[in-house]
A and B are shown apart, each in its own frame.
Chain A
């Protein structure tokens, strides 16, 4: 059983602010960490490996510092780690990111099962997983909240569709994205930390991929463009209403109606 988990390094906090004067992101003291949703994907992968044998590989794309999260994955018990890092990958949107990752996967090898977290805490799009599956031309299931059965041939999962659970069976190769809380992720182990201290991380640049056409990567390979970023409108804060009950009830009703709660 060969399992691949795609992970991402994200800012340690989502409280990023924009300096209104300059339009620049303030990032004082912002540390990086592994996308918290990826921990669930890693745990699912490790448990399947413990049950069926095989290996768990992680793949990430990012700056050289992103090695830190591969090291963390090693401490959880992952066998191999690859980092896609190249300045030419910079400025990638969903299409270019998923394409780069799929190209990386093709170089690393073939996998039975690819697992991703449900989304990242910085982009919040939840799109990269399905897009990788499309590039690789394999089926995918998102929002997996439970794995009912897993064996060497296929996997039976519960797909959470908000109002219903769709229980589906998929043959390998396939890709799933897992919900938060599907399993409790293990903590990195100190013993593994010592064991994997010198474990290599393989870095993949554009040159190591099959498709080396720069136009398919980074900003050049991204059909979407960010035209501008700006702070959100501040909600009307702390308005105090006094008066007759009838008038107050009308104001409250109007507010609920305008904001579509009614």
Chain B
């Protein structure tokens, strides 16, 4: 908390600070250096000034009594009681954070007729599930959900609140954090805990080109939303431990200004541009029926099959499946190219993918220049083995789950 000051007597108008400011927030006005409203308080100007004319003045802020705020509260995301996997990821992280400071892990479970599902949560290292089960809570409506969230926080006073970075989480969390006049950090990819219970929150900024480490040092609770599929899921224990606490809230708090007219289940007809995982077939495929092999791998990974132009021209796949300048541009989380050489017309439309794995017999294929992992092999040998391994792994998991 503080303010940046410019000592005009020390300033010789060298303008170095104006050049260094990443936000163009320093101006020369009437022969004076001034900071304008674009300032993000990054304080780079202070380091840049050769005359030490720019200083940062701390201002004291009311300190919150951190001892009074205990526990990591996880918001349980679900559809009609079916718990979203992000919840288990949050619980895994919550347990780690809680252990560092000796705090309990709590769940907030809001819905209608979900009590039987609350029991499930107790297998994931939760100390207490706070259950709000009411017909007014059947659908997600931000005003009543925020009221319930507020009620729970006021009653248990958690140190941190973790919410999934999902459509609901990103709508609800800012509402509740604002109500408590506290900080919320969106889409965290790394979380850690300081000894004084300050949550270290790391998130990508500026489209992922820069990481920012953020803390909420003077207010409680500390809110964070967390990206899906970043944290490790909590391990299921053999025995349930912890308890369920049934909560009630006054009827006035359950009155909503939002009327749900209907809920339409979305058809899962995604195009290749929307797919998170793509398996791509190229000219290395010998026959059109071999696409079934890629289809099998794609299905196991929850993805789709795409192709290169020659396959579309040969009539093996529709144009909507084609990646390339004359087809679609894609940016999935994972792309596995199989027998694709990697012509520029193709790579230009997929090289922004987050993880690129290429399988090709030819070690000199240009695709290996852009692939993060290149596998020099015959796709007909490697892919069946890979499919087999994934299937075996899945069997193991299914046998383990109850």
Q: Does B35 contact A (CB under 8 A)?
A: yes
> A residues 236-250 with Cβ under 8 Å of B?
236-242, 245-246, 248-250
Complex: A262 Cα to B215 Cα, angstroms: 33
B186 touches A125 (CB 8 A): yes
Of A57-65, A68-76, A193-201, the one contacting chain B is A57-65
Q: Does B39 contact A (CB under 8 A)?
A: yes
Complex: A164 Cα to B139 Cα, angstroms: 11
B181 touches A223 (CB 8 A): yes
Residues of B near A15 (CB, < 8 A) are 207, 209
Question: What's the nearest-Cβ distance from chain A to residue B33, in Å?
Answer: 13
Residues of A near B23 (CB, < 8 A) are 63
B207 touches A245 (CB 8 A): no
Q: Is the interface of A mostly helix, strand, loop or mixed?
A: mixed
Complex: A61 Cα to B39 Cα, angstroms: 12
Q: Taking CB as reference atom, which chain A residue is nearest B59?
A: A220
0/1 string, A6-27, CB within 8 A of B gives 1 = 0000010011111000001101
A239 touches B374 (CB 8 A): yes
Q: Does A160 contact B (CB under 8 A)?
A: yes
> B residues 247-294 with Cβ under 8 Å of A?
256-266, 277
Residues of B near A95 (CB, < 8 A) are 177-178, 181-184
B215 touches A227 (CB 8 A): yes
Question: What's the nearest-Cβ distance from chain A to residue B234, in Å?
Answer: 14
Q: Does A133 contact B (CB under 8 A)?
A: yes
Complex: A171 Cα to B177 Cα, angstroms: 24
Residues of B near A228 (CB, < 8 A) are 212-213
A127 touches B174 (CB 8 A): yes
> B residues 188-229 with Cβ under 8 Å of A?
200, 204-219, 229
A248 touches B377 (CB 8 A): yes
Residues of B near A253 (CB, < 8 A) are 386, 389-390, 393
Complex: A126 Cα to B163 Cα, angstroms: 14
Q: Does B168 contact A (CB under 8 A)?
A: yes
Q: Taking CB as reference atom, which chain B residue is nearest A235?
A: B372
Complex: A19 Cα to B124 Cα, angstroms: 43
Residue from A14, A62, A158, A246 in contact with B385 in the complex, judged by beta carbons closer than 8 Å: A246
Residues of B near A256 (CB, < 8 A) are 301, 334, 390
Complex: A253 Cα to B375 Cα, angstroms: 12
Given A223-B183, A223-B216, A227-B215: A156 in contact with B207 (beta carbons within 8 A)? no
Question: What's the nearest-Cβ distance from chain B to residue A255, in Å?
Answer: 6
B382 touches A163 (CB 8 A): no
Question: What's the nearest-Cβ distance from chain B to residue A241, in Å?
Answer: 5
Residue from B61, B213, B256 in contact with A226 in the complex, judged by beta carbons closer than 8 Å: B213
Complex: A15 Cα to B209 Cα, angstroms: 7
Question: What's the nearest-Cβ distance from chain B to residue A131, in Å?
Answer: 4
Q: Which of A15, A93, A166, A167 has the most chain B CB within a 10 Å cutoff?
A: A166
With an 8 Å Cβ cutoff, the count of chain A residues facing the other chain is 96
B373 touches A239 (CB 8 A): yes
Residue from B38, B143, B215, B378 in contact with A139 in the complex, judged by beta carbons closer than 8 Å: B143
Q: Does A103 contact B (CB under 8 A)?
A: no
Complex: A239 Cα to B372 Cα, angstroms: 6
B205 touches A229 (CB 8 A): yes
> B residues 135-153 with Cβ under 8 Å of A?
139-143, 146
Question: What's the nearest-Cβ distance from chain A to residue B98, in Å?
Answer: 21
Complex: A168 Cα to B207 Cα, angstroms: 32
Residues of A near B183 (CB, < 8 A) are 93-95, 222-224
Q: Does B167 contact A (CB under 8 A)?
A: yes
A245 touches B261 (CB 8 A): no
Q: Does B118 contact A (CB under 8 A)?
A: no
Complex: A46 Cα to B42 Cα, angstroms: 37
Residues of A near B178 (CB, < 8 A) are 94-95, 98, 130-131, 134-135
Complex: A94 Cα to B214 Cα, angstroms: 13
Residues of B near A255 (CB, < 8 A) are 357, 373
Given A65-B38, A236-B372, A240-B376: A143 in contact with B301 (beta carbons within 8 A)? no
Complex: A12 Cα to B104 Cα, angstroms: 45
Residues of B near A14 (CB, < 8 A) are 206-209
Q: Does A140 contact B (CB under 8 A)?
A: yes
A232 touches B375 (CB 8 A): no
Question: What's the nearest-Cβ distance from chain B to residue A61, in Å?
Answer: 8
A259 touches B355 (CB 8 A): yes
B38 touches A164 (CB 8 A): no
Q: Does B20 contact A (CB under 8 A)?
A: yes
Complex: A24 Cα to B371 Cα, angstroms: 30
Residues of B near A62 (CB, < 8 A) are 37-38
0/1 string, B145-172, CB within 8 A of A gives 1 = 0100000000000000000001110111
Residues of B near A223 (CB, < 8 A) are 181-183, 216, 218-219
Question: What's the nearest-Cβ distance from chain B to residue A5, in Å?
Answer: 19
Q: Taking CB as reference atom, which chain A residue is nearest B144?
A: A139
Contacts A/B (CB < 8 Å), 27 sampled: A24-B20, A24-B22, A63-B37, A94-B178, A95-B182, A98-B178, A125-B174, A134-B146, A139-B142, A141-B258, A160-B167, A161-B167, A162-B167, A163-B79, A167-B264, A168-B141, A168-B260, A169-B259, A218-B41, A219-B1, A220-B61, A229-B42, A231-B209, A238-B371, A249-B386, A252-B373, A261-B355
Q: Which 7 A-B pairs have the closest CB atoms?
A: A14-B207, A91-B41, A63-B38, A249-B385, A90-B39, A223-B183, A25-B22
